[in-house]
């Protein structure tokens, strides 16, 4: 399971995905066991921390992310806004108490499905880009198109991602396509393949976490990522990242150790639950 990345892309690399998680806290599927599943409350490493607080419906009330650099610490607070029981927008603040927040994103839903069709991204109240979603009959995202605002206030698309799923509800391949200008054909830029354990992914089970942070396999897949192999089109070699876990009695990860093949570095992350 790969944890969230703090580097947000507001325009060209803004995010869109689809998920239909329950509005209330999930329970185990067993007939005689109705204990609530653990809710992810914190992800902490030496470089960063993510803290999640919940409202009375066990939906995200506030998400705080802290990035520690060599000379400074950066705080990013996301405050979701709900209307009629579903996520309508998110506010962004650079202060731990949420002061001076401004709109960061808003969500448009498909007419005949309870699924997100478009996410708009804002800078100083103005839409700077949006993502458009394509999904399959199982309500799984299969393509995400990135649109950015041009000088004439129209929007153009130069990049998209294609997702391949297996029968276990995991994304096993992510293809990144790009083109130099509209009208040209899309070309494959890179492909990422994934393998998984068989344990529940706590990030997937947090309602709307993928919308509020980023849309990536770690937030959409049912299980936890074991390997992540990155191949660039036209380039020799590949980069392989691996992830190992320690689990609690409920078989949820409490510790993740990542080994990055590009630079040989390792990082350990701790997870805590409500």
With bands split at pLDDT 50, 70 and 90, how would you rate the model's confidence at 27?
A: very low
169 dihedral zone (left: phi>0; alpha: psi -120 to 50; beta)? left
Average pLDDT, the chain: 87
Q: Is 184 exposed, middle or buried (0-12, 13-18, 19+ CB in 10 A)?
A: exposed
- pLDDT tens digits, 103-145: 999 999 998 778 999 999 999 999 999 999 998 999 999 999 9
Q: Is the pLDDT of residue 157 over 80?
A: yes
| Closest to 51 measured CA to CA, from 64, 69, 40, 35 | 64
pLDDT reading at 18 higher than 80: no
Average pLDDT, stretch 187-193?
97
Q: 203-232, pLDDT tens digit by residue?
A: 999 999 988 988 899 999 999 999 999 999
Is the alpha carbon torsion for 214, 150, 108, 100 positive or negative?
positive
Give residue 4's pLDDT.
Answer: 43
> Using an 8 Å Cβ cutoff, are 174 and 161 in contact?
yes
At residue 205, the 3 state secondary structure works out as coil
Contacts 24+ apart (CB under 8 A), 174-182: 174/217, 182/156, 182/157, 182/158
Q: Which domains does the chain have, with CATH numbers?
A: 40-273 (2.40.160.190)
* Per-residue confidence (pLDDT) for residue 54, from 0 to 100: 95
Q: What are the helix (H) ranges across the chain?
A: 209-212, 217-220
CB of 107 closer than 8 Å to CB of 89:
yes
Q: What is the reported pLDDT for 35?
A: 55
Tokens of 180: 């130099």
For the cut 50, the answer to whether the pLDDT of residue 3 exceeds it is: no
pLDDT at 6 over 70: no
């Amino acid at each position: 399971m790969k944890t969230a990345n703090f580097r947000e892309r507001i325009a060209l690399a803004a995010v869109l995905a689809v998920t239909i998680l329950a509005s209330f806290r999930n329970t185990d599927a067993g007939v005689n066991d109705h204990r609530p599943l653990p809710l992810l409350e914190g992800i902490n490493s030496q470089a960063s921390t993510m803290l999640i607080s919940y409202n009375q419906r066990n939906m995200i009330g506030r998400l705080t992310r802290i990035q520690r650099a060599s000379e400074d610490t950066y705080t990013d607070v996301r405050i979701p806004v709900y209307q009629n029981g579903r996520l309508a927008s998110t506010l962004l603040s650079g202060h731990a108490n949420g002061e001076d927040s401004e709109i960061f994103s808003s969500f448009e839903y498909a007419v005949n499905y309870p699924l997100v069709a478009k996410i708009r991204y804002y800078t100083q109240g103005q839409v700077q880009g949006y993502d458009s979603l394509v999904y399959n009959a199982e309500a799984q995202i299969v393509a995400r198109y990135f649109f950015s605002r041009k000088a004439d206030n129209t929007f153009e698309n130069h990049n998209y991602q294609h997702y391949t799923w297996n029968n276990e509800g995991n994304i096993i391949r992510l293809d990144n396509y790009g083109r130099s200008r509209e009208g040209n054909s899309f070309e494959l830029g890179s492909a990422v393949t994934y393998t998984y354990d068989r344990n529940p992914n706590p990030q997937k089970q947090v309602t709307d976490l993928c919308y509020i942070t980023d849309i990536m396999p770690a937030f959409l897949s049912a299980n936890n990522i074991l390997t992540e192999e990155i191949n660039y089109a036209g380039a020799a070699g590949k980069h392989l990242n691996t992830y190992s876990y320690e689990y609690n009695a409920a078989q949820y990860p409490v510790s993740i150790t990542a080994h990055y093949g590009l630079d040989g570095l390792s990082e350990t992350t701790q997870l805590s639950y409500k």
